[in-house]
A = this chain, B = another copy of it.
Amino acid sequence: MEQVSVGLVGLGTVGAGAARILTEHADRVARRAGRKVRLKWAVVRDARKSRDVALDGVRVTTDVDQVINDPEVDIVVEVIGGVDAARRIVLASLAAGKHVVTANKALLAEHGPEIFAQARASDRAVAFEASVGGGIPIVNALGVGLAANQVQNLSAILNGTCNYILTQMTLEGLPYADALAAAQTLGYAEADPTLDVDGTDTAHKLAILAQLAFKAGVPTAAIPRQGIDRLQLADLKYAGELGYAVKLLALAKLTGSGLELRVAPVLVKRGTPLAEVRGPYNAIRVVGDAVGDTFFYGRGAGADPTASAVVGDVIDVAAGRALLTSRVLDLWSADQAPTPLLPSNQIKSRYYLRFSIADRPGVIAALAHILGEKGISIASVIQHDSGDDDSDRKTVPLVIMTHMAIEENLRSALREIDRLDIVRAPSVCLGVEE
């Protein structure tokens, strides 16, 4: 049996997980790859640090160029994260004729065209199952399993940290800051959680899925995004009363006027699979023109689930499949017809609105009048007896669910409403998915 050699760049959580599978389950990996897969190199930042993975026979180095320049290495696995160093390593590895396996969503979202151009020039595979959805084989599903379909619609929970925080807020009634602290205690959130909670991480992953499912080459910056960091507990409670859960979703829809892409906290109908995803899990709903509705679910992060995806890719490369897939998918190619994006102000959705209004006669009528003038029709209203008091001037919450409306019209109505003196705080607006 022919052998392939792997250079593993990065021995953090994911790298150590991948090293463990490659060394402890070498027989299994060999059987499924059709050849022996040897972990030859591990590139680390500090060679003296002790690690809880046995690296017998593995050369540990701090110099990545030793790996890139080793003609025996067939596959470079990049799991250091970050963009600049990873970009250099991936490009140099491809140029040196190595296949690349990467878990790096930011790298692909921001430098996909350059990386895949180099892969094509070198006729090497770039496999990236671990970059989206942790252990869920969603890249393989979209690129191979569902290849007979044109995807029509994709909605996904792609950030386990955010989903854990939202679950804690919903089930335990914790305010955002407390739920975030709980996530940090459990290791689900980083010390600096900004890229998770502001939606950037989800947007990176959506950019990759949009390329796979729609051949849309969209810079992350062009994806409208809103995080969970300004969500108020009150809105999760009203959503619950209305029969919805609030989820941070990546949304992609093929419409007659272009591809709609966005990342936002959205109300999802309880009882649907996405609404019921709890804790640090990821899930992707894919609607294809032939297959109809499908749903994929699993752990979105962590050493072992991500290592499952990384080693799955190593096997796919070693078996010779990944290169064939890379060639036909032809991702981020320069000659692909650009998929037109639907301008974000043209997005159509149902909306959840919450207003903080003076408890006075005629206020609802005034709001309803403005919404009506903009062509926004009201599906349902919640107004409870009392709200947040502010001593003299009593303020009450008013919750409105709209029928389908165009974002532009809605924003215009909200600007007008927020200028009224009977409105005491900026209105809250969230999309609604069925």
Q: Which residues of chain A have a CB within 8 Å of any CB of chain B?
A: 17, 21, 25, 28-29, 31-34, 129, 135-137, 140-141, 144-150, 271, 273, 276, 288-299, 302, 304-305, 307-312, 314-316, 319-321, 324-325, 327-329
Question: A32 touches which one: B31, B291, B294, B328 (CB < 8 A)?
Answer: B328
**Beta-carbon nearest neighbor of A139 in chain B:** B145
Given contacts A31-B328, A147-B32, whether A304 and B319 have CB atoms under 8 Å apart is no
Q: How far is the CA of A290 from the CA of B293 in the complex (A)?
A: 27
* Residue contact A137 to B148, C-beta cutoff 8 Å: no
Given contacts A32-B328, A271-B276, 13 further A-B contacts (CB under 8 A): A135-B292, A135-B294, A136-B291, A141-B145, A145-B145, A146-B312, A147-B315, A276-B276, A291-B304, A291-B305, A296-B297, A321-B324, A324-B324
Which of A28, A144, A302 has most chain B Cβ within 10 Å? A144
* Residue contact B297 to A295, C-beta cutoff 8 Å: yes
* Residue contact B144 to A141, C-beta cutoff 8 Å: no
- The minimal Cβ–Cβ distance linking A54 to chain B, given in whole angstroms, is 17
Question: A137 touches which one: B21, B28, B144, B293 (CB < 8 A)?
Answer: B144
* Residue contact A146 to B308, C-beta cutoff 8 Å: yes
Q: How far is the CA of A314 from the CA of B140 in the complex (A)?
A: 16
* Residue contact B290 to A144, C-beta cutoff 8 Å: no
Q: How far is the CA of A179 from the CA of B87 in the complex (A)?
A: 58
* Residue contact A144 to B312, C-beta cutoff 8 Å: yes
Closest 8 CB pairs of A and B: A137-B145, A148-B311, A135-B291, A290-B308, A294-B298, A291-B308, A295-B297, A34-B328
Q: Which residues of B contact A136 (CB under 8 A)?
A: 291, 294
Given contacts A136-B294, A291-B298, A308-B291, whether A148 and B34 have CB atoms under 8 Å apart is no
- The minimal Cβ–Cβ distance linking A284 to chain B, given in whole angstroms, is 11
**Beta-carbon nearest neighbor of A298 in chain B:** B294
Show 25 residue pairs from A and B whose CB-CB distance is below 8 angstroms, ordered by the A residue. Answer: A28-B148, A32-B147, A32-B328, A34-B324, A34-B327, A34-B328, A135-B290, A137-B140, A140-B140, A140-B145, A141-B141, A144-B312, A148-B307, A148-B311, A148-B315, A276-B276, A291-B298, A292-B302, A292-B305, A293-B299, A294-B299, A296-B296, A297-B297, A319-B325, A324-B324
* Residue contact B290 to A145, C-beta cutoff 8 Å: no
Q: How far is the CA of A29 from the CA of B302 in the complex (A)?
A: 36
- The minimal Cβ–Cβ distance linking A8 to chain B, given in whole angstroms, is 14
- The minimal Cβ–Cβ distance linking A309 to chain B, given in whole angstroms, is 8
Question: A312 touches which one: B148, B308, B319 (CB < 8 A)?
Answer: B148
Q: How far is the CA of A293 from the CA of B280 in the complex (A)?
A: 12
